[in-house]
Structure 1
Amino acid sequence: MDRELALAVELADWAAERIRRPRATEDTSDVREKAGPADIVTATDEAVESYVRDVLRREFPEYGIEGEEYGVHEGAAGAPHWVIDPVDGTTNYAHGIGWCSFSLGLATPEGRPLLGVVADPWRGEIFSAVKGGGARLDGRPIRAAAHDTLTGHAFLTEWAAHAHWPGLDDLLRELAARHCTVRVMGSTALSLVQVAAGRATAAAIGEFHPVDALPPLLIATEAGAVAIPELPPYDTPLLLVAPGAAEEATALWKRTVLR
């Protein structure tokens, strides 16, 4: 997995530089809707994914690819497949808000994570992990927070595009009662890896999509975070939490989201 990781980090560094290039936010000619006004794509999304796919197909021609913008390329039977989100947080990016990410992972044919890389272009950070090898931030080992409660700490979440997902409102009320500071940031991958870095005690999403959530899921669990469930089915909720707060968060999750 050393070769795959080295290439993934190299591509993440290239993508971060491409995303950082100045663009005129008042010029909407490179932005178009996909499923609706809250689901958009930019020329940068397409350029980044196209380049990354070309490199991956050249270097690992037997591997499959699943990307946010260009769908699925089938690999050889039994081969792993890459998952790519070229700009996770496109709405933020298109509006000049510096919170988006590049996400790249490798998974087994059954969808279990083998490798994950998430780049934060604006902080110049690259998170990475290989299954069983721990999590790293810019090459340095990282661990989930040592907190034993949600109270007083950060909890990151994301809307399902423009909408609240089932159970979110109840969850937010419970967290507010605990004086837990909730943040809705706008990039699934970047929010989830904050748990790996120990900056957020927990993070949750209502709809698990491998292209943007599988890489940070691996990074966070390799940093010691607890994932509930361990690997969600597509379009179902995911909670990541520091191990010391897992019992409290799990009970809250079951009472609000999973009821």
Structure 2
Amino acid sequence: MSDHDLVPDLDLSQALAVATDLATWASEAIRGPRGDDGVREKASPADLVTQTDETIESHVRSVLRAVFPSHGIEGEEYGTDEPATPNAPYWVVDPVDGTTNYAHGIGWCSFSLGLAAPDGTPLLGLVTDPWRAETFTAIKGKGAHLNGHPIHAATHTTLTGHLFLTEWAAHSHWPGLDPLLTTLSARHCTARVMGSTALSLAQVAAGRATAAAIGEFHAVDGLPAYLIATEAGAVALPSVPAYDEPLLLSAPGVAAELADLWHRILTQ
């Protein structure tokens, strides 16, 4: 099935251009003066939101509604606006993915924006690192790019000696994470918890991390990076991520090794 069959009359090149402009604006907002930025708790002391999160998402929603009035929008801060017409695509946006880092002045967070077909199939993904001026992008079936240049998952054939990125579920380890880290450590695979789901997954696309995993897949911060990584040749386990379930991404040469480790952990 082609992208045109999924969403007739959708110009993904135009959508990517709009997304890229929004990413440039969001990056400037994230790097701008912060003051106290109105930092406050949401669901728990480990779940923070800032005025910057809300300002960026409000602006993104305003632009998307103006340019794509029939589309739906799902955002981290303001929930879901259903599509105005049946069978229209919808956008997913996380204005500051890695708000805890941002709120504490640590320069590792991202702006994440994606577009999905009505059935959830990812069509477009963008993840921007404001601090390093890096923008990862992908259109379904057209490969992945970093600042306009093609990128590919690593050619490694073993996890040993390479890098594995993961994220906690806010302040908590997710089920299966601890035994996975122990197993990877025994293989001399170095693990890092960086603090931004979208940006960590995107490192697999760039070939920097050989594998990455999250304990709970959410479209707003996971779908764009998932598309970018798989368009770069990374292998996803499962191949189609499910809401609130773990997602593992890896270079193709280590996919079987990682899948075997994960299967052993799940069957312990």
Q: TM-score, normalised by structure 2?
A: 0.94
| Structure 1 position 52 matched with structure 2 position 60 | yes
What is the CA deviation profile of residues 229-251 of structure 1, one whole-angstrom value per residue up to 9, with x for unaligned ones?
A: 11221100000000011110110
Pairwise CA RMSD of aligned residues? 0.9
Q: CA deviation at 1:258?
A: 6.6
Percent identity reads 70
| Structure 1 position 103 matched with structure 2 position 103 | no
Determine the C-alpha separation between the residues in 2 that align with 1:234 and 1:101.
21
**One-letter amino acid matched to 1:30:** G
Partner of 1:147: 156
Partner of 2:236: 227
| Structure 1 residues without counterparts, runs of 5 or longer | none
C-alpha change, 1:257 and 1:128, in structure 2 (3 Å) is farther
**One-letter amino acid matched to 1:17:** E
What is the CA deviation profile of residues 187-242 of structure 1, one whole-angstrom value per residue up to 9, with x for unaligned ones?
A: 00000000000000000000000000000000000000000011221100000000
Contact 1:168 1:256 in 2 (8 A): no
Partner of 1:3: 14
| Structure 1 position 92 matched with structure 2 position 101 | yes
What is the 5 A alignment of 1:68-217? 68-75=76-83, 76-217=85-226
1:14 counterpart (2, 16, 25)? 25
3-state DSSP of counterpart to 1:119? strand
Determine the C-alpha separation between the residues in 2 that align with 1:201 and 1:132.
22
Partner of 2:5: none
Contact 1:204 1:237 in 2 (8 A): yes
What is the CA deviation profile of residues 65-99 of structure 1, one whole-angstrom value per residue up to 9, with x for unaligned ones?
A: 00000011111210000000000000000000000
Contact 1:228 1:239 in 2 (8 A): yes
Which is worse superposed, 4-13 or 80-89?
A: 4-13
Contact 1:167 1:258 in 2 (8 A): no
3-state DSSP of counterpart to 2:42? strand
Partner of 1:64: 72
Determine the C-alpha separation between the residues in 1 that align with 2:100 and 2:163.
23
What is the CA deviation profile of residues 150-203 of structure 1, one whole-angstrom value per residue up to 9, with x for unaligned ones?
A: 000000000000000000000000000000000001000000000000000000
Q: CA deviation at 1:257?
A: 4.4
3-state DSSP of counterpart to 1:44? helix
Aligned length: 256
Determine the C-alpha separation between the residues in 2 that align with 1:112 and 1:256.
29
Determine the C-alpha separation between the residues in 2 that align with 1:11 and 1:256.
41
Q: TM-score, normalised by structure 1?
A: 0.97
| Structure 2 residues without counterparts, runs of 5 or longer | 1-11
3-state DSSP of counterpart to 1:194? helix
Q: CA deviation at 1:22?
A: 2.9
1:248 counterpart (246, 253, 257)? 257
Determine the C-alpha separation between the residues in 1 that align with 2:131 and 2:267.
35
Q: CA deviation at 1:252?
A: 0.8
Determine the C-alpha separation between the residues in 2 that align with 1:35 and 1:258.
32
Q: CA deviation at 1:146?
A: 0.4
3-state DSSP of counterpart to 1:36? coil
Contact 1:172 1:182 in 2 (8 A): yes
What is the CA deviation profile of residues 112-160 of structure 1, one whole-angstrom value per residue up to 9, with x for unaligned ones?
A: 1000000000100000000000000000000000000000000000000
3-state DSSP of counterpart to 1:35? coil
